[in-house]
């Protein structure tokens, strides 16, 4: 295939309308929007008009159009069936997270897409955040040393809303943990590798809907590193700075606000050139005036870095929705596997399932490979 990938959208009225269509499909160099469908016909008509797309009256009608790929952005409990229908129609599918409601559903989705020779992607777009890509590069180059500990936080204020699908596990699969913690866990696996076992608490601390509004998960990675994920639907937006902290035997990478939808936030690395002896003074001066800045890939100077100096990681920002659409479109054009394929969606589902199981049983749960 050459030229532009022709996209359809199922569930056009939420994140699709807010971000993935305007910032992703419309801006991507190798994609174009053909047709949209939403169960809410009025919303669908508005979206079709705004983005100059055809308006389908059903999923079958949408699949009859001349399209290559479908972006599914509906409530979580609908994903598996909608992926099934699209795959059977021979369309490539980029599905929002969580991929399914259970590990079995995610496995079936992957298997069916394989059988039908269509590509399956999972929309973990936070992997494309420019600072995250730079942090990953530093970790892969060994600049952090042996990974030891990480923290990822994503919280917001989400009060009770009549009929909200995220507030009922029957439609959302859970609450804060699966909805926002899923991004955190996915990012931490990107940085530190696979999680081997988890311990987790969930609670309804403030809101009394059926899904949890509070969750903290403790992760033990296969490589021995530890991490915590904290995610709440009951902390005011401006109070959660969506912290990302990555520590290793040679330093740390600390960020605020890079986990999120818009290109934002700041990230600083504190890296030692070589392992130092134990310092009884435990001195850790931080002088912003002495910080150097990395603004492009590979721009970490080889010069000696004195203790306490930080390196500001500020690469050119990337729109994550544009990046995810361009990447998936290119995978179709080049006929290769997408970077963020269904397997990562399945992986996330396995860790999340283990977390919920741990919370339910009150004990540590193995994730499995």
Ligand X SMILES: NC(=O)c1ccc[n+]([C@@H]2O[C@H](COP(=O)([O-])OP(=O)(O)OC[C@H]3O[C@@H](n4cnc5c(N)ncnc54)[C@H](O)[C@@H]3O)[C@@H](O)[C@H]2O)c1
Which residues, 6+ apart, have CB-to-CB distance to 329 below 8 Å?
4, 5, 7, 28, 30, 31, 69
Say whether residue 257 binds ligand X (CB under 6 A): no
Closest of 344, 347, 342 to residue 196, by C-alpha: 347
Say whether residue 344 binds ligand X (CB under 6 A): no
Taking residues 42 to 61 in sequence order and writing x for each that binds ligand X by CB under 6 A, - otherwise, the string is -x------------------
Say whether residue 333 binds ligand X (CB under 6 A): no
Q: Which is nearer to ligand X, 167 or 305 (CB)?
A: 167
Say whether residue 38 binds ligand X (CB under 6 A): yes
Count residues contacting ligand X (CB under 6 A)? Answer: 21
**By the 8 A CB rule, do 348 and 109 touch?**
no
Taking residues 82 to 121 in sequence order and writing x for each that binds ligand X by CB under 6 A, - otherwise, the string is --------------xx------------------------
How far apart CA 44 and CA 35 sit, in angstroms, is 10
Say whether residue 237 binds ligand X (CB under 6 A): no
**DSSP notation for 246-270:** EEETTEEEEEES-SSSSS--EEEEE
- Give the binding range for ligand X (CB under 6 A) out of 7-15, 192-200, 227-235, 287-295: 7-15
**Which residue's entry shows tokens 């930080």?**
310
Q: Which is nearer to ligand X, 141 or 237 (CB)?
A: 237
Say whether residue 10 binds ligand X (CB under 6 A): yes
Q: Which of 69, 70, 123, 227 binds ligand X (CB under 6 A)?
A: 123
Strand ranges of the sheet holding 54-55, from the earlier edge strand across to the other edge: 54-55, 31-37, 5-10, 69-72, 92-95, 120-122
What backbone phi and psi angles, to 5 degrees, belong to 313?
-95, 105
Q: Which of 9, 15, 36, 184 binds ligand X (CB under 6 A)?
A: 15
**By the 8 A CB rule, do 151 and 145 touch?**
no
Closest of 132, 130, 128, 356 to residue 231, by C-alpha: 356
- Give the binding range for ligand X (CB under 6 A) out of 5-13, 151-159, 222-230, 333-341: 5-13
- Interface ranges with ligand X (CB under 6 A): 10-11, 13-15, 37-40, 43, 73-76, 78, 96-97, 123, 125, 179, 261
């Amino acid at each position: 295939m050459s030229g532009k990938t022709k996209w359809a959208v199922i569930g056009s009225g939420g994140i699709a309308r807010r971000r993935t269509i305007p910032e992703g499909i419309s801006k991507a160099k190798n994609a174009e929007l053909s047709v949209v469908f939403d169960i809410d016909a009025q919303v669908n008509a508005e979206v079709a008009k705004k983005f100059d797309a055809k308006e389908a009256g059903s999923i079958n009608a949408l699949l009859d159009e001349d399209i290559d790929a479908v972006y599914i952005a509906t409530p979580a409990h609908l994903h598996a069936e909608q992926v099934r229908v699209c795959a059977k129609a021979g369309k490539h599918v980029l599905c929002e997270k969580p991929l399914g409601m259970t590990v079995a559903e995610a496995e079936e989705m992957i298997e069916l897409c394989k059988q039908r020779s269509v590509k399956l992607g999972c929309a973990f777009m936070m992997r494309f955040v420019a600072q995250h890509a730079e942090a990953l590069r530093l970790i892969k180059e060994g600049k952090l040393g042996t990974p030891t500990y990480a923290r990822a936080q994503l919280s917001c204020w989400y009060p009770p809303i009549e009929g909200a699908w995220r507030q009922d596990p029957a439609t959302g699969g859970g609450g804060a943990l699966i909805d926002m913690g899923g991004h955190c866990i996915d990012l931490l696996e990107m940085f530190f590798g696979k999680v081997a076992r988890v311990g987790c608490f969930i609670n309804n601390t403030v809101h009394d809907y059926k899904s949890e509004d509070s969750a903290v998960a403790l992760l033990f990675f296969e490589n021995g590193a530890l991490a915590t994920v904290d995610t709440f639907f009951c902390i005011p937006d401006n109070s959660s700075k969506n912290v990302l902290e990555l520590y290793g035997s040679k330093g740390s990478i600390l960020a605020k606000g890079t986990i999120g939808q818009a290109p934002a936030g700041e990230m600083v690395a504190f890296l030692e050139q070589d392992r130092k002896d134990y310092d009884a003074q435990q001195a850790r001066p931080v002088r912003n005036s002495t910080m150097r800045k990395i603004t492009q890939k590979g721009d970490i100077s080889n010069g000696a870095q004195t203790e306490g100096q930080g390196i500001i990681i500020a690469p050119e920002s990337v729109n994550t929705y544009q990046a995810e659409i361009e990447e998936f479109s290119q995978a179709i054009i080049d006929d290769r596997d997408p970077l963020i394929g269904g397997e990562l969606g399945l992986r996330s589902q396995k860790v999340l399932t283990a977390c919920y199981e741990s919370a339910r049983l009150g004990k540590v749960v193995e994730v499995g490979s």
